Copies of this chain bind each other. A is one copy, B any other.
Amino acid sequence: MFIIGERINGMFKSVAEAIQKKDKKVIRDLALKQVNAGANALDLNVGPAVAEPLEAMIWLIETVQEVAKVTLSIDTTKPEVMEAGLKICQNQAIINSISAVKEKMDTLIPLAKKYNSLIIGLTLDEKGIPQTVEGRTELACTILTRLIDEEISPENLYLDPLILPVNVAQDQCPLVLETIKQIKLLSDPPPKTLLGLSNVSQKTLDRSLVNRTYAVMSLAYGLDGAILDPLDEELMKAVITAELLLNKFIYCDSYLEAYRKK
């Protein structure tokens, strides 16, 4: 699974403080820890409270790039922050996110093309998130088609069918699994799928248990990537074991270690 580490996010108090105080050590530690734990990319989000989001994002990217040569996911709703970020990323970066909202696509797809970025495409439009498998799959198709029209490789796209918290939208949990399966039937080779995993466990008592259980089910349905907490060891063990049981890599007794060294 393509793992995007979620921990450098201004929603976390320690990260918000580090951004405010320009404390590079906190950010660098989080970057290195996540990469060592198995993250293939790192999400960067300055959080909602920061005064100068553009400056903060540039600082985050520069700080991380000083210690880790890793794919960065620029997580912002502000196009000017997105472009400033993409401009200074040394590797191919991830636009987190576009959606089927026309204005979003009009603004961000040219950036994706200009910077050859990977793209996370959310299955929502002007009317919100469809409550059905068909509705979400249709929006996935809208985004996929638009990218193909703009001559962007579908290989660069991760479609996210948007898992919601189990405590407020429980019926959507099995439905999102089915949506993963349906999205993968949209083209050949199948489009890639991704989830912002931790959303499923918002405000539940044992978040790690809910996260890892949903991760395993999603993998069984074909999920290709997730934004998650790679420092959650039980989650990572569950993800690796699910991939083993799906025959994605060859069994050996020490498969957990072998996978991590890979």
> What mask results when residues 191 to 232 of chain A are scored 1 for a CB within 8 Å of chain B, else 0?
000000000100011100110011011011100000000000
Residue interface mask A151-187, B partner, CB < 8 A = 1:
0000000000000001100110110010000000000
Number of interface residues of A (CB under 8 A): 33
**Residues of chain B contacted by A238 (CB below 8 angstroms):** 209, 213
| Chain B residue nearest to A165 in the complex (CB) | B251
Closest B residue by C-beta to A168: B251
Q: How far is the CB of A251 from chain B (nearest CB, A)?
A: 5
Question: In the assembly, what is the distance between CA of A200 and CA of B244, in Å?
Answer: 12
Interface centre among A170, A204, A210, A241 (most CB of B within 10 A): A241
Q: Copy number of this protein in the oligomer? A: 2
Write the nearest CB–CB distance from A191 to chain B, whole angstroms: 20
Q: Once bound together, how far apart are the Cα atoms of A171 and B170, in whole Å? A: 32
How far apart are A94's CB and chain B's nearest CB, in angstroms? Answer: 27
Q: In the complex, A117 Cα to B174 Cα: how many Å?
A: 33
Contact status B246-A173, CB under 8 Å: yes
Which residue of chain B is the closest to A175 with respect to CB atoms?
B247
Contact residues in B for A166 (Cβ distance below 8 Å)? 244-245, 251
Tell me whether A251 and B217 are in contact (CB under 8 A): no
In the complex, the answer to whether B254 meets A242 with C-beta atoms within 8 Å is no
A51 at the interface (CB under 8 A from B): no
The 8 A CB mask of A91-102 against B (1 = contact, 0 = none) is 000000000000
Q: Known interface pairs A216-B213, A217-B220. Does A244 touch B177 (Cβ–Cβ under 8 Å)?
A: no
- Shortest C-beta distance, A177 to chain B (Å), equals 6
Q: Does A237 contact B (CB under 8 A)?
A: yes
Smallest distance from the beta carbon of A256 to chain B beta carbons, Å?
Answer: 8
Question: Once the chains bind, are A205 and B245 in contact (CB under 8 Å)?
Answer: no
Give complex CA distance A247, B166 in Å. Answer: 9
| Cβ-defined partner of A245 (8 Å) among B173, B251, B253 | B173
20 A-B pairs with CB atoms under 8 Å apart are: A166-B244, A166-B245, A170-B244, A170-B247, A170-B250, A170-B251, A173-B247, A174-B246, A174-B247, A200-B245, A209-B241, A210-B244, A213-B216, A213-B238, A213-B242, A216-B217, A216-B242, A217-B242, A217-B246, A220-B221
Ordered nearest first, which 5 A-B pairs have the shortest CB separation?
A217-B220, A213-B241, A216-B216, A173-B245, A170-B251
* Chain A positions near chain B (C-beta within 8 angstroms): 166-167, 170-171, 173-174, 177, 200, 204-206, 209-210, 213-214, 216-217, 219-221, 237-238, 241-242, 244-247, 250-251, 253-254, 256
